[in-house]
């Protein structure tokens, strides 16, 4: 099978538990117990830390605001870091909200382009963002905090719907975590699954943050559990979406972001 990086033309594919719907649903149905083609429309107020990475006029990837100065995304999203910008606080990936310039991207030093291991990058924004009770950053897990098998997690973005066209609106869907051992077995002929990866999806396929919104969030409530990384095919049975595991690099995130803040305070 061909390995497809999740570049921006995503299909958030979900199927209703009782019937297949061709229309995008306007609200959540019973989370992981129901599956919806295209996901449901959400307002940015529901996921205020969700951001869109852009270059020039075009969308590039998703990302998550983790503080008033830093965005966490996927390393493979910033292999060409020039002219990167971040659109924040917008339900629409290509309009509204505020566009902030990126000062510098910092790719995890262990990132491996061939294996996609350590698929993390931090983006330092050129200006601080004012956070409020309504417009908040994502929370981070503790270092090596486990992710429970079967946990129902949320992923979101502006990818394609079932007809393949890009969505102007923010879409949200829910996926259950698949055990690491099971995912490693399923992917053994396609891709190595490391301890820095989480797999989430359905054993019979159909639901995925497929081919798009790389770098976007996989969350448990407000906690950022994973970063959209890669997949093989699109919602294929036995080949779930793969996410970079945030708790595996929590100390690195703190070292980079808090180290920067310390340098600023000393100046």
Could you say which of 67, 214, 247, 257 is catalytic? 214
Which residue out of 117, 119, 208, 213 is catalytically annotated? Answer: 119
Q: What is the pLDDT of residues 120-161, one digit of tens each?
A: 999 999 999 999 999 999 999 999 999 999 999 999 888 644
pLDDT higher at 28 or 125: 125
Pairing of strands 98-107, 121-125: antiparallel
Please calculate the CA angle 60-65-70 and round it to the nearest 5 degrees: 95
Residue 86 has pLDDT above 70, yes or no: yes
Report pLDDT for 209. Answer: 54
Q: Across residues 60-83, what is the average pLDDT?
A: 90
- Return the beta strands (E) in 45-120 as ranges: 50-55, 58-65, 70-73, 84-88, 98-107
Q: Of 7-21, 165-179, 253-267, where does the model show the most confidence?
A: 165-179
Question: If we measure between CA atoms, which residue out of 51, 159, 166 comes closest to residue 97?
Answer: 51
Q: Which residue is catalytic, options 76, 90, 191, 257?
A: 76
Per the annotation, the verdict on 214 as an active-site residue is yes
96 part of the active site: no
Residue 123 or residue 5, greater confidence: 123
Domains in the chain: ranges and CATH? 9-44+140-248 (2.40.10.10), 51-135+250-266 (2.40.10.10)
Q: What is the pLDDT of residue 56?
A: 73
Distances (CA, A) of 99 to 35, 126, 134: 33, 11, 19
């Amino acid at each position: 099978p061909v390995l497809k990086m999740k570049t921006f033309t995503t299909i958030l594919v979900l199927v209703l538990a009782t019937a297949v719907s061709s229309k995008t649903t306007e609200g959540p149905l019973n989370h992981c117990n129901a599956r919806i083609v295209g996901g449901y429309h959400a307002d940015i107020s529901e996921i205020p830390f969700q951001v869109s990475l852009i270059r020039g006029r075009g969308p590039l990837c998703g990302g998550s605001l983790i503080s008033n100065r830093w965005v966490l995304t996927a390393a493979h999203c910033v292999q060409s870091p020039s002219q990167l910008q971040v659109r924040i606080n917008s339900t629409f990936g290509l309009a509204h909200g505020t566009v902030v310039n990126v000062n510098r991207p910092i790719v995890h030093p262990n990132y491996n382009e061939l294996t996609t291991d350590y698929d993390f990058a931090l983006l330092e924004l050129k200006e601080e963002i004012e956070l409020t009770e309504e417009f908040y950053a994502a929370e981070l897990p503790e270092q090596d905090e486990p992710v429970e098998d079967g946990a129902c997690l949320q992923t979101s973005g502006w990818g394609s719907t079932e007809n393949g066209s890009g969505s102007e609106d923010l879409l949200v869907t829910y996926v259950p975590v698949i055990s690491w051992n099971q995912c490693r077995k399923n992917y053994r002929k396609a891709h190595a699954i490391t301890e820095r990866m989480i797999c989430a999806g359905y054993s019979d396929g159909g639901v995925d943050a497929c081919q798009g919104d790389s770098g976007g969030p996989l969350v448990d409530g407000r906690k950022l559990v994973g970063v959209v990384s890669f997949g093989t095919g699109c919602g294929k049975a036995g080949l779930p979406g793969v996410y970079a595991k945030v708790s595996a690099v929590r100390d690195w995130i703190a070292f980079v972001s808090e180290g920067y803040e310390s340098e600023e305070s000393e100046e």
